[in-house]
Copies of this chain bind each other. A is one copy, B any other.
Amino acid sequence: MTRDAERDDDALRQFVETLALGLADMGWQRMAARVFAALMVTDSGRMTAGELAAMLSVSPAAISGAVRYLDQVGLISKERVPGERRDSYRVLDDMWYASFLKQDRLLKLWGETADEGIAVLGEHTPAGKRLAEMRDFFQFFAKEMPLLFERWHARRRDTG
């Protein structure tokens, strides 16, 4: 019994690291990725900073930085139960939505960068045209991504 529980616990921690590694490869800060992964595999979807520090074997200071970042980008929320001294952190249901809104903003930024380049190169040069194509590409995706996300939401309403 104890053996099984321990084995499960190990498997769980290992999966947290796997998931976090994947997120880190996507460009997330490592600690933020580990915290997010830890919250994802919790049934309640909530943990205190202390619990997170214990689960991940890191100092409270490291947790502090990670949760601030995750909160800023809208992937988790900070909550304090009245009459508790400790903050809880919770994974948000619409976390993917937040992450895609962010991408949308980035795509727009790329369009602007391309425009800068076109101004320097001249829009009728081959290089200028190449950048114009890049700009169009990003604009296209900036427009389509939110629509795509809408469809995902709609589908989830129907299925789940």
Contact = CB atoms under 8 A, between A and B. Distances in A.
Interface of A: 8, 11-12, 15, 18-19, 22, 26-27, 40-45, 91, 96, 106, 109-110, 113, 116-117, 120-121, 125-127, 130-131, 133-134, 136-137, 140-141, 144, 148, 151-152, 155-156, 160
B125 A43 contact: yes
Nearest to A160: B133
Contacts of A26: 27, 106
A67 B139 CA distance: 28
Majority DSSP secondary structure for residues of A touching B = helix
B113 A43 contact: no
A121 B152 contact: no
B155 A41 contact: no
A61 to B, nearest CB: 26
Contact of A148 (B131, B141, B156): B141
Contact of A127 (B18, B42, B133): B42
Contacts of A41: 117, 120-121, 127, 131
Given A18-B116, A140-B152, 18 more contacts: A8-B120, A12-B120, A15-B116, A15-B117, A18-B113, A19-B113, A22-B109, A41-B121, A41-B131, A42-B127, A45-B130, A91-B130, A96-B134, A96-B137, A133-B160, A137-B152, A140-B155, A141-B152
| Best-surrounded residue of A27, A120, A151, A160 (most CB of chain B within 10 A) | A120
